[in-house]
Structure 1
């Protein structure tokens, strides 16, 4: 991800891209016009205002704490940390110093999900009953330090809480490992949010089909978001009876309207950086805070605990703030 962040930062209005840290060097040629440094200390010495942390998950805590000690704001790639304890230490380090810090949960910036969330907030669906996500595709060889729960399922955990504005109350999960690695590569999870909404997540690295599917079903119908194409459709509750008997077996006895919305489709990573830049400047910006990122790590840990113990895991109640001003 580092090279993609570098590409966006190098052209981001209001930001001077001044340096990169990578002990392996710039093998992708992503930062041709800035120094490529060996250590975080060298970057801090340049007098930076904020840093993007896009190293392996196991290093997020070490790098993040060093930046907090230097009073440098940080956008940390997801998941926030490898462990719940590490995530809490990062939250404490940045909050006690009053530093702006966020987590790169990029799905929050997907056009389809941003439109979906706005429509839910406007009450277009009425009461929300269920959120279902499917996130599957081929094995990503770049990931070696975590399994599918921390790398992929954290996307779905975060977006579910974000679009609904609710927190997870319980989760039950099953995992398997079929690729010969020590980490799990498939997970199926069923959970409940604090308002009773049901959630279902199916995530794997074992499918030749790449799919990014989110559906939210409620009182007035169902929203379906495809985050690969950034398309959002709405299927309304049945309004017209199907009188053609032969079709009833396939389509039910009644149908409602289906709408595919025309929405602006800006690059999610660019939107993420614009929001974080604005937050550092003290402007209102809807970023994923470290505390929200910590909650996602907590839920992911509960998923793995449930799979290990073969029982449902309850999560402590916590208010899920959805905006940062």
Structure 2
């Protein structure tokens, strides 16, 4: 069987990483790259370079990766759908829900694989967390908390912190709990002089009853990527920078102290840091996309998944403007 023919659109910060992984991926040949702004970082190397999607499509592609600014996702995605090219789109799926709906319909009507680059689903710490939650290792889940903060990235200009970073946590939280958002309330700040928000604190409730909390900003010199799932048997803490997962057990300790014996709280139990096989999430994401194109498995973040995440992100923006809870 011949290798899948892949194209890459967008040769910026993420594009460079996609190019590296595509060149290393078994069963895939990177046959063309494109960027209308040029190739300032010489990502193309010996790979043919184009200035337009139309020119790129002449290379008879099976699949494409799109790593351009969000504002161009719909336009490029529709061109790829028209050409029957399976597509991995960097997150968020599109700039607006309306654009996302059109993209979902274009791909689903042609039975094409449309995947969104919510890469945290492929982080080994979160993958292990999801398996352990599903296996009942922390019992009923009460709360999922995320913290995602760090300095402003020069690569972002067209969306705020909610759609850029917050969508990671929205997607991964719903995926970990295997439940959709029911409501969200958010407060934002604009501290860096840009038109979009650069800080958000949001709380939400999933349909399953799980309470969520998300702290996301571009204003901190501390870079932090933490997810904490708390349930009746303890807490799982994932650091997705190091891909470490730690379990803090809810210990059961008897007490003979009458004045507090009636209090049914928690106590510190054992702590376990799990030994995980740590593979690069971007490579695992590409393997999943390749295998979905080949019909071997279906564990990508679908366009419809990405659309659901974008709906929550827009609901958070609406909430921050109105000051009210937004229901989904």
TM-score of the pair, normalised by structure 1: 0.92
**2:206 counterpart of 1:190:** no
8 A Cα contact 1:241 1:253, kept in partner: no
8 A Cα contact 1:129 1:198, kept in partner: yes
Aligned to 2:20: 7
Cα displacement string for residues 181-209 of structure 1 (whole angstroms, at most 9, x for unaligned residues): 11000000010000111000000000000
Deviation of the 1:25 alpha carbon: 2.2
Aligned to 1:120: 133
Distance in structure 1 (CA, Å) of the matches to 2:267 and 2:81: 58
8 A Cα contact 1:80 1:297, kept in partner: yes
8 A Cα contact 1:242 1:254, kept in partner: no
**2:59 counterpart of 1:46:** yes
Given the alignment, which residue of 279, 295, 318 partners 1:266?
A: 279
Deviation of the 1:11 alpha carbon: 1.2
Distance in structure 1 (CA, Å) of the matches to 2:267 and 2:38: 60
Aligned to 1:160: 173
Aligned to 1:87: 100
Given the alignment, which residue of 108, 111, 126 partners 2:121?
A: 108
Deviation of the 1:239 alpha carbon: 2.7
Query: Please, which runs of 5 or more residues in structure 1 have no aligned partner?
Result: 244-251, 316-325
| Structure 2 counterpart SS, 1:190 | strand
Aligned to 1:150: 163
Cα displacement string for residues 84-109 of structure 1 (whole angstroms, at most 9, x for unaligned residues): 00011000000001001100000001
8 A Cα contact 2:73 2:89, kept in partner: yes
Cα displacement string for residues 256-289 of structure 1 (whole angstroms, at most 9, x for unaligned residues): 1100000000000000000000000011131100
Aligned to 2:241: 228
Matches within 5 A, 1:278-289: 278-289=291-302
Distance in structure 1 (CA, Å) of the matches to 2:183 and 2:104: 23
Query: Please, which runs of 5 or more residues in structure 2 have no aligned partner?
Result: 1-13, 257-264
Distance in structure 2 (CA, Å) of the matches to 1:141 and 1:293: 24
8 A Cα contact 2:235 2:249, kept in partner: yes
Distance in structure 2 (CA, Å) of the matches to 1:134 and 1:38: 38
Given the alignment, which residue of 22, 39, 43 partners 1:26?
A: 39
**2:230 counterpart of 1:217:** yes
| Structure 2 counterpart SS, 1:18 | strand
Aligned to 2:213: 200
Matches within 5 A, 1:235-250: 235-240=248-253
Which structure features the higher share of strand residues? 2
Distance in structure 2 (CA, Å) of the matches to 1:173 and 1:291: 23
8 A Cα contact 1:74 1:100, kept in partner: yes
Deviation of the 1:255 alpha carbon: 2.0
Deviation of the 1:126 alpha carbon: 1.2
Instruction: Report the number of matched residues.
Output: 307
Deviation of the 1:242 alpha carbon: 9.2
Deviation of the 1:24 alpha carbon: 2.3
Q: 1:240 to 1:31 in 2, by over 3 A?
A: farther
8 A Cα contact 2:250 2:266, kept in partner: no
| Structure 2 counterpart SS, 1:153 | helix
| Structure 2 counterpart SS, 1:19 | strand
Distance in structure 1 (CA, Å) of the matches to 2:253 and 2:26: 50
Deviation of the 1:151 alpha carbon: 0.3
